[in-house]
Structure 1
């Protein structure tokens, strides 16, 4: 491995997965995630993963949902979600997603800086592989990728993910969108760690073998 490759920062995908390997239902349903997400121990693990990132990346659909929620959330997880720079992958640009329906959600009054962090993120509109390689060359902590399903599938198919942090939920969907549905060829992974939580969730960390 040459020095330029060694200096690259990692791309880490953190995503919830059902026991049968789906990241959402057939129509993008993710309600099963929230049925088993509770617990201080799993929340701490997720929070540590978020805090360690230097950049958050996501697709445009995930951006729209997150931008309508995290600026107004009183969860401890909101702090790294709001503070860490974000890159949104979209061919057509983005609309301001911070004005979504917040009825029934926990709420705080966001600062102007928090609103700005979501209203004006960096937009990556070029080729996925080229954009990821460009981000890897930048200094800082690892790049943390969030779903949705299509964005995660595209990243997995690209072969550029350096670490998978899979939050495996005790749920069987039967049908849905599989994380590795677009991978062009078989690949071997090496288990780095596995942590079980009281809710029944298991956080499994893998890297390419």
Structure 2
């Protein structure tokens, strides 16, 4: 059984919107695009590269797919990540796209939760969900996320899309590994472990 792994960059207050650049995603008037690079460091890059070592596919929502498909096919070939991103299988969940042209891309058909269940039952490595906040929340609601790999950066934005938005399913998490980089970013790997427990002091 393949694992579905949500890989996300977050601000300290949980915002995941437009980490990569000012024009990445301005939906709902978001004015803080590009917040990640000023608080990034080499250790974060090393950790992110490690997220892909046991994965051979990505699962993407439409918006993230379109951002990636506009960038990676013509990205710097000297970047070691370029070949990996272009070479991986890409599975795209969209209600509006009718075709996907980036190499090794497949448009999922029908109900996305059922399509992902079938995908998890195929042979292969782990499947990384990158960005794609709406898709990640759908997968969470259907108990299809096996692991979270998160970088939590030392910056507060105050507004924007959040991975764990209102209505997120209450879930206990088992920490697999947690570390802090020299720049203050928390790199955490967590696995869902059922419902939270409640107690009092």
Deviates more, 1:185-194 or 1:160-169: 185-194
Counterpart selection for 2:36 from 33, 36, 43: 33
Counterpart selection for 1:139 from 102, 123, 131: 123
Q: TM-score of the superposition, structure 1-length normalised? A: 0.78
Deviates more, 1:172-181 or 1:63-72: 172-181
The structure where helix makes up a greater share of residues is 1
Instruction: Point out 4+ residue stretches in structure 1 off by more than 3 angstroms.
Output: 25-30, 182-185
| Contact 1:51 1:80 survives alignment (8 Å) | no
Matches within 5 A, 1:117-196: 118-119=102-103, 121-181=105-165, 183=167, 185-196=169-180
1:148 Cα shift? 2.8
Matches within 5 A, 1:110-121: 118-119=102-103, 121=105
Task: Write the deviation string for residues 10-33 of structure 1: whole angstroms up to 9, x where unpaired.
Answer: 110100111112212754554112
Matches within 5 A, 1:6-25: 8-24=1-17
Matches within 5 A, 1:39-54: 39=42, 41-54=43-56
Q: TM-score of the superposition, structure 2-length normalised? A: 0.81
Gaps of 5+ in 2: 19-27, 194-201
1:193 and 1:34 map into 2 onto residues whose CA distance is 23
2:174 and 2:114 map into 1 onto residues whose CA distance is 26
1:133 and 1:146 map into 2 onto residues whose CA distance is 18
1:49 and 1:181 map into 2 onto residues whose CA distance is 23
| Other-structure match for 1:206 | 190
| Contact 1:54 1:85 survives alignment (8 Å) | yes
| Other-structure match for 1:93 | 97
2:167 and 2:111 map into 1 onto residues whose CA distance is 17
1:137 Cα shift? 0.4
1:184 Cα shift? 5.2
Deviates more, 1:41-50 or 1:62-71: 41-50
Root mean square deviation, CA, Å: 2.1
How many equivalent pairs are there?
A: 181
